[in-house]
Chain A
Amino acid sequence: MRWKLWLLMAPALLWLLAIFAAPMLHYAWLSTQAETVLTGLQPRPVGAEQWLRLWNDARFWQDTWQTLRFSAVSVLLEMVLGLAMALLLHQPLRGRGALRTISLLPWALPTTVMALGWRWIFNDPYGPINQLLQGLGLSGVPFLSDPAITWLAAVWADTWKTTPFVALLLLAGLQNIPADLYEAAALEGAGAWQSLRRITLPLLTPYLLIALLFRLAQALGVFDLIQVLTGGGPAGSTESLALYAYLNAMRFLDFGYSATVMLGSFAVLLVVAALAGLAFQWSRTTQAEELR
């Protein structure tokens, strides 16, 4: 009986290994090979050379910083807005089903499609936001051409697209909280804010954690949005790690180094995920102590 179960799982598990694990192993090998135009696109062993290059690559570290900055801000925004949206969608109001569907629409659209849309919305001076600002007598904002601002435009577009996803995850959690807990709290004289803090948030913790980790991993791999919205510019100010790895392979035809960057990005991802998990654990225990 047992071996039958493993037999049923085998195709899918092997498939997963082939698609997820094998590439990582391949990168590990490729990162020790030079495979560029100079080598005729044939692998040539170079040992740890490319890892040293990565370590000294200012552009890699700049992209790491930019990716972290983008991820931290957009995920934070998505969590906060997502929670607010979930609470709103949880209210027993008329037209709730329709509102849920509509608010989920941004998530369902292809990133490249909406990235192109945002490019037009952020346009200076003809986009609607700048038109509006000008209509109010204010000066326009160069959303996509000022290195200090453009990354925020990317955050904005990303938040718009993925907040509904976070909201829906949290909504699932809200629906799992028994209503009589709130009734009991109300009988004890708890207000809305106290209910949220004492009941909703603690019971929502596992969902918040899932949403946080999932979104963080996805944000650290941001690619589609950046490539179409800004192309990494202006002046490389929005280039993400994934985009850098992509450019190394597809533009500079430096496959060995691209694999090294890929693994470097993965390492960053692992470190951040571990830190986020730990921080979450820590905030949970302190919160529990506080409640005690």
Chain B
Amino acid sequence: MARLALLIWSLGPMVWQLYTSLRPTEALTGGLGGGLGGPGGWTFAHYQQLLHGNPPFQIYLLNSALVGASSTALTLALAVPCAYALSRLGRNASRSLSLLVAAAAAFPAVLLFLALLELARNWHLANNLLALSLPYAGLCLPLAILLLQASFRDIPMELEEAAVMEGMGLWQRLRWVLLPLMTPAMASAALLIFIFCWNEYPIALTWLSRSDLLTLAPAMARIAGSSVYTIPYGAFAAATVLGSAPLILLMLLFQRQIISGLTQGAIKG
């Protein structure tokens, strides 16, 4: 019973969007009598409208994917060495640093947008998708560091010492012993970072203005504010469905890694 309630609570709004996106506009606004099961049949018109729009909707998804991927790579490149060092640092130093990092993780990113906007303006980084990775990496670093640090701690010290006794230097130990053991944790972290970047709004909103460079989040907001769609709920819903689908797919494919990433973060945080 409780499980059913949970399912309806979680999926209901999404199912409603899917339903709406497939219904003709007149059926939605009661032109045909309204109601949930009202007549009017099904239509793909809303999707066609989106996919043949200017720019076509899928470009937003591609932009988001590109920003997500490059930000994830940059974040991991910065976070892995830092997390390693943090996990090998003395307890006190590591404690206080972790606390600062945790505070940064909780910090609402929106409060940074103005300063970052000036950064973009001064360094001519606006309307550059790859440059968006610079602030994104900064925003994702705290979470990534905390997660990876916890996993580095889980690797027994003796394992690394055995590698030392085998004559391996720091780089060799990371490359051949530690990082292979960190793969699951890095996958979890990468997924969470990717989701964050995919969803990020205020900075994308202020850094990107060219419509063909928008990522999904500001594109959705622009669609919401546009008057192109006169009675636009079918199109809105189709946009939400298309915007949600990649992430739902990602969640279903990598549920284990994402959930373990989140819970790990909680336990060690």
A12, B81: Cβ atoms closer than 8 Å? yes
B241-261, CB < 8 A from A: 243-244, 247-248, 250-252, 255, 258-259
- Is the pair A103, B10 in contact by a Cβ cutoff of 8 Å? yes
B197: shortest Cβ distance to chain A, in Å? 10
A213–B107 Cα distance when bound, in Å, is 10
A246 touches B233 (CB 8 A): no
Query: Which of B108, B141, B243 is within 8 Å of A113, CB to CB?
Result: B243
B9–chain A nearest beta-carbon distance, Å: 7
B108 near A242 with CB under 8 A, answer yes
B142 at interface by CB-CB < 8 Å: yes
User: Known interface pairs A172-B266, A245-B111. Does A112 touch B138 (Cβ–Cβ under 8 Å)?
Assistant: no
**Does A126 make an interface contact (CB < 8 A)?**
yes
In the complex, whether B66 has a CB less than 8 A from a CB of chain A is no
Bound-state CA distance A113–B97 (Å) is 35
When distances are taken between beta carbons in the complex, the residues of chain A under 8 Å from B86 are 9
| With contact pairs A112-B201, A176-B267 given, residues A126 and B216 touching in the complex (Cβ less than 8 Å) | no
Q: Are B247 and A116 interface neighbours, CB within 8 A? A: no
Give the number of residues in B that approach A within 8 Å (Cβ atoms): 87
The contact size tier of chain A is 35 or more
Residues of B within 8 A of A135 (CB): 35
Whether A12 contacts B221 in the complex (CB less than 8 A), given A88-B2, A160-B13, A249-B114, comes out as no
Contact of A18 with B by CB under 8 A: yes
Return chain A residues, CB-CB under 8 Å to B13.
106, 114, 117-118, 121, 160
* Pairwise interchain contact A111-B199, C-beta atoms closer than 8 A: yes
- Report the tally of A-B residue pairs with Cβ distances under 8 A: 246
B111 touches A120 (CB 8 A): no
Chain B stretch 104-158: residues in CB contact (< 8 A) with chain A: 104-118, 135, 137-139, 141-142, 145
Which one, B78, B109, B139, B218, contacts A12 given CB within 8 A?
B78
Residues of A within 8 A of B228 (CB): none
Residues of A within 8 A of B159 (CB): none
Task: Please state if A112 and B35 are interface contacts (CB–CB under 8 Å).
Answer: no
A12-B141, A16-B141, A110-B201 given; A227·B251 CB < 8 A: no
Query: Helix, strand, loop or mixed for chain B's interface?
Result: helix
B123 → chain A, closest Cβ, in Å?
12
A residues in contact with B264, CB < 8 Å: 172
**Binding-face segment, B14-22, B45-53, B182-190:** B14-22
Supplied contacts A15-B78, A116-B224, A120-B236, 12 more A-B pairs, CB within 8 Å: A23-B112, A97-B255, A103-B6, A104-B259, A105-B248, A108-B195, A115-B220, A125-B30, A126-B30, A131-B35, A164-B10, A214-B105
Where the two chains meet, the residues of B that have a C-beta atom closer than 8 Å to any C-beta of A are: 2-3, 6-7, 9-11, 13-14, 16-17, 20, 28-30, 34-36, 78-79, 81-82, 84-86, 88-89, 97, 101, 104-118, 135, 137-139, 141-142, 145, 170, 195, 198-199, 201-202, 206, 216-218, 220-221, 223-225, 233, 236-237, 239-240, 243-244, 247-248, 250-252, 255, 258-259, 262-264, 266-267, 269
